Amino acid sequence: MNQETKKGTLHPLSLLAEEAYKVFSDMGFEIAVGPEMESEWYNFDVLNVPKDHPARDMQDTFWIKEKKDYVLRTHTTSVTARAIEQAGKEGRVPCAFVSIGKVFRNEATDATHEMQFYQIDGAMVGEDISIADMKGVLTHFYKKMLGEETVIEFRPSFFPFTEPSIEVFAKFKGKWLELGGSGMLHPNVLRNLGLDPAKVQGFAFGHGFDRIAMVRWGIPDVRFLYQGDLRLNQF
């Protein structure tokens, strides 16, 4: 049979990532990629996570047996942190980065929890980048991801790496959904990345990426995403 090769199908997370990257690229963000096996320094210390913080416990974080003081990254914030640090060294501040990647948490799996999942992380740093910018960027992003009628709102929260800290919610089909954490980069984080908090400030966010896919397409179980099953590639 001499027929043209039928094009393969795309994994929904890749499809969504291409869309998300496009949205952020159009807003002037640079794509950042970083290691999945990350040092304690970039995963925790740089981000102002206290030395004795429970998140560092073995019960929550995968520590690497063969490489001392290394973990499987628990968020892609480590990637944006590296990117901001590098940009600072190269004199490329103001800057804006976005990163989508696999992250790991040591927890039992069920329909809404996986040991591995994807996160989208972003940050914008400049002289007067504020929560208003964060609202602008995230509103635009979620309208593109979930539809123009999507509304987002900010509620108080706490994370060691941001101050103020904010939890982002989106109203999708009449229901409020928790999307993830965000806030203004803590001055200690800026300092750890070699920037002067008296001169620059910025926002950062780290949101569940699988969750956006699950909500948008109605995928009921996060585990479907990592089973190598082509029945998933419906879009």
Considering the complex, what minimum distance in angstroms separates the CB of residue 31 from other proteins? 4
Is the peptide bond prior to 156 cis by the omega test (within 30 degrees of 0)?
no
By the rule CB under 8 A, 150 interacts with other proteins: no
* Residue with smaller CB distance to other proteins, 46 or 210: 210
CB-facing half-sphere around the CA of 225: CA atoms within 13 A: 28
By the rule CB under 8 A, 133 interacts with other proteins: yes
Query: d(Cα 102, Cα 216) in Å, to the nearest integer?
Result: 19
Residue 225: both structure tokens together: 């995403």
CA-wise closest residue to 166 among 178, 176, 174, 175: 178
Question: Are 13 and 213 spatial neighbours (Cβ–Cβ below 8 Å)?
Answer: yes
Q: According to CB under 8 A, which one of 92, 110, 194, 196 is a site residue for other proteins?
A: 92
Residues 24 to 53 in contact with other proteins, rule: CB under 8 A = 25, 27-33, 35-37, 52
Considering the complex, what minimum distance in angstroms separates the CB of residue 225 from other proteins? 6
Q: According to CB under 8 A, which one of 128, 194, 196, 199 is a site residue for other proteins?
A: 128
Q: According to CB under 8 A, which one of 186, 193, 204, 209 is a site residue for other proteins?
A: 186
Query: d(Cα 41, Cα 126) in Å, to the nearest integer?
Result: 24
Residues 57 to 86 in contact with other proteins, rule: CB under 8 A = 58-59, 62-67, 72
